[in-house]
Amino acid sequence: MIPIRDINPSRTFPIVNVAIIVICSLIWLYEWQLSGRILLTIRGEINALEIFIREYGLTPSLVLEKPYTLITHMFLHGSWFHIIGNMWFLWVFGDNVEDRIGKLKYIFFYIACGLGAATAQILISLIFGGGHVPMVGASGAVSGVLGAYMRMFPHARVLALIPVFFFMTFTEIPALVFIGLWFLIQLINGIITLPMVGLGGVAWWAHIGGFVVGYLLIGKMLPKNRYYY
C-alpha cells in the first residue's frame, strides 16, 4: 500500500517537517556523490560512501564508542528508494502531528522516536548476532510519526494506492486501517527475519520500536482539553 495523501488538512505550515525532509534529502545527495569515489587507504581501495556510513551510521556494537551515531544515523539513507519512501511517508503524515503538538515539541518527539527505534534495533541485533551491521535511515523516527497519527486521527481518511490481484486501485481508507496494516506487516517481517538479523537488510525492529514509542509518547505531548478524531 502506498499513501498518496491524507484527507486531513493542517492549520499551519509544517516548517519542521519540511526542514527534516530537506536536510535528509541534501545529505542523501551528498552520499550519492560519495558512492562514485574510491579512496586509497593502507588497507587498499575503499568506497568513500562506505567510510561515511561506518563513521555516521549506527553500528550496535560500537554505540558506546560512537554515541553521536544515535542521532546521525537518522539522517542517512541507503538508496533512492529508501530516501523517497521515508520522506514521502513523513510528508503525508508528519504535518498533522507537528500541527497538533507544536513545532518545538515535534522536534523532540521526532528525535525521541528515532532513539526509541534505535534502542529496539540495537537490542535485537546484539541478541541475535547483528551487532556489526551499520543501521541508517529515518524509518524509525517516521514510524513514530505514524504511531502518533494513528492515535490522534484514527478515523482520518487516507487516499492509498492498493494492489488488487494484478491491478492497482486508489481507495480511501481510515488511518487506523492503513497504519494498522502497515504495523502488522512490520511485526510479521520482524519476527520472520529474526534468525537473519546478522545479514543486514531492513531494520524491521527499528520500525516496530519507533512506532510503539510514538504511539505512547504522543499521549504525553498533546495539549490538554483538546479532542481528536
Per-residue pLDDT tens digits for 117-160: 999 999 999 888 878 889 999 999 999 999 999 999 999 999 99
Are 146 and 212 in contact by the 8 Å Cβ rule? The answer is no
CATH number for the domain that contains residue 32 = 1.20.1540.10
> In this structure, is residue 71 part of a structural domain?
yes
Identify whether 217 is part of a domain: yes
Instruction: Report if residue 226 sits inside a domain.
Output: no
Q: Label residue 224 by pLDDT band (50, 70, 90).
A: low
Examine residue 156 and state whether it is found in any structural domain, yes or no. yes
Of 92, 71, 109, whose CA–CA distance to 218 is shortest?
109
User: Residue 100: which of 11, 203, 185 has the closest Cα?
Assistant: 11
Which is nearest to 17 in space by CA: 161, 144, 178?
Answer: 144
Domain span including residue 95: 2-221
Q: How many domains does the chain have?
A: 1
Task: Check residue 100 and report its DSSP letter.
Answer: H
Helix (H, G, I), strand (E, B) or coil at 158: strand
Tell me the HSE value of 42 on the side-chain side, using a 13 A CA sphere: 0
Residue 53 lies in a domain: yes
**200: pLDDT strictly greater than 90:** no
Residue 54 within any structural domain of the chain: yes
* Contacts (Cβ under 8 Å, ≥6 apart) of 210: 113, 114, 116, 117, 120, 139, 140, 141, 142, 143, 144, 147
Higher pLDDT pick, 229 / 58: 58
Cα-to-chain-centroid distance, residue 81: 13
229: in domain? no
Lowest average pLDDT, out of 48-52, 74-78, 223-227, goes to: 223-227
Q: Which residue has the higher pLDDT, 33 or 225?
A: 33
